A and B are shown apart, each in its own frame.
Chain A
Amino acid sequence: MTPEELFQAKKAAKKAARRNKEEEEGKLNITSLMDIVSIIVVYLLKSYGADPVVIMPTAGQKIPMSKADSPIQDGIPVYISKRAITFNSKKVVQIDENGDIDPASLQNHLIGPLYDAMAEEADKAKQMATNQGKEEWSGRIILVGDQTLKFSTLVDVMYTAGRAEFREYAFCVIQNQ
C-alpha cells in the first residue's frame, strides 16, 4: 500500500467514524417526552375525575363567589346567563337586557320551553334509574347562575324545575378562599 493509498484509507475510515457518530447524535430520546406526556395525562385525569359534573359556563357568564366548601354532587346543570337559559347544551329561553325572561315563554312563573326540556330529561333519568335498579331518582338540579341574575328569574327557574319533578337544588358557586 502506497502512502497515498494509506492516507486515503485513513481518511475514509475517519469519515465513516464521523458519519457513525453523527447518526448516533441524531437519535431522539423519547423517554423524557414520555415522562412529560405521562405527567400531563395523570394531571388531566385527576382534575377531570375529581368532579362528578363538569361545569362549562357560557361565554361572559360570571358565576357567583362564595365561602361554601361543599363539593358539587351529581346532578343536571342549568345555565342561566345574562342572555339565555341553557339546558342540555340547548338555549331554551332568551333573557332580555333587563334580565327578565321573554314574556312569551313565561306563564305564572312557569317557563314553558324550559319545563318541556326538563320534563323530558326527568323522564329519561327516571327510566335510567329504573333500569339500573335504583329505588328512587334523586332529581337533583345544579343552578349555574350569573352574579347579576335577578331573584325573580331564579325563582321562576326553581319553580319550573319543581314542576318538572326535580326535588333537590344546588347553586353552583366559585370558592373565593
Chain B
Amino acid sequence: MAKRKKKMDEGDVEANLIPVMNVMFLLIPALLLAMEVARFAAVNVTPPKFAAQADQKKEKEDKEKPLNLKVFIMEDGYRVSAQGQQQGAEAGKSADSNKPTIPLAKPGAPLDDYERYNVQALEAEAAKYKKLFPHETVVTISAENSIPMQALINTMDALRGSDCKLLKAMAGEEVPPECYFWQAIVEAGAG
C-alpha cells in the first residue's frame, strides 16, 4: 500500500494530451481534404439508331446538306471523312485508300502509348469543319478492333474541343462556341 502511494506521488506530473489530440484530430480532415480525389466525369455517347434520327431532324430544320463527319481510328492514324468523301481522296470516291488522313504523331510507338495520335491536328480539322457547319454537333467515331479505350477518349476530347466545357450547357445554358462536335456516335466498322 505504501509502495502504491509512493508511485501515485511520483506520477503527479502528467502530460496533458488533450491539445495534442485536438491537433491530431484536426489533421484528419485536413489530410482528407489535401488528398487528391479522383473526379469522375461522363462522356455521353449516342447509339447509332438515335443519331440517325437526330440527323434527319437537323436536315429538316436547317435544310442544309448534313456534314456527316466520320472519324476512323486506325493503328497508323486517323481517317477523316465528311459528306461521304474521305479527306484527300479523289472526288467521287468515298474512300481513296486505307492510308490515314492524319498520320501518327509518334510513328512506331506502341498502342498503349496514348500520345501516338496527332490529336492537335484532329482538333484543328474539327475546328475547320465547325466553321463551315456551325450547327453541326454530331460525329461518328469508329476504330479498329485493337484500339484502346484511352485512344478513343482522346479522340472524342479532340473532336469536342480542348476548351469545351459542357457543364453549364447541361444545366440548360447554351453550348459554348468552343465546343465543336460534342455528340459522339460510337459504332463498329464505320469509316
Contact = CB atoms under 8 A, between A and B. Distances in A.
A88 interface: no
Interface residues of A, number: 48
Interface string B9-28: 00010101010011001101
Contact of A158 (B33, B112, B186): B186
A169 interface: yes
B150 to A, nearest CB: 4
A128 interface: no
Nearest to A98: B146
A22 B163 CA distance: 65
B42 interface: yes
B149 A174 contact: no
B145 interface: yes
Q: How large, as a class, is the contact surface on chain B? A: 35 or more
Given A32-B22, A150-B146, A155-B186, A169 B29 contact: no
Given A36-B26, A36-B29, A154-B152, A71 B146 contact: no
Given A40-B32, A151-B143, A152-B145, A174 B38 contact: yes
B130 interface: no
Given A70-B167, A72-B40, A142-B42, A167 B32 contact: no
B41 A151 contact: no
A28 interface: yes
Interface in A16-59: 22, 25, 28-29, 32-33, 36, 39-40, 43, 47, 51, 55
5 contacts: A36-B25, A72-B42, A168-B44, A169-B47, A170-B43
Given A32-B21, A173-B153, A175-B39, 20 more contacts: A25-B16, A28-B18, A36-B28, A36-B29, A43-B29, A51-B40, A66-B41, A68-B166, A69-B166, A70-B43, A71-B42, A71-B167, A72-B42, A73-B42, A151-B147, A167-B47, A170-B43, A174-B39, A174-B40, A175-B40
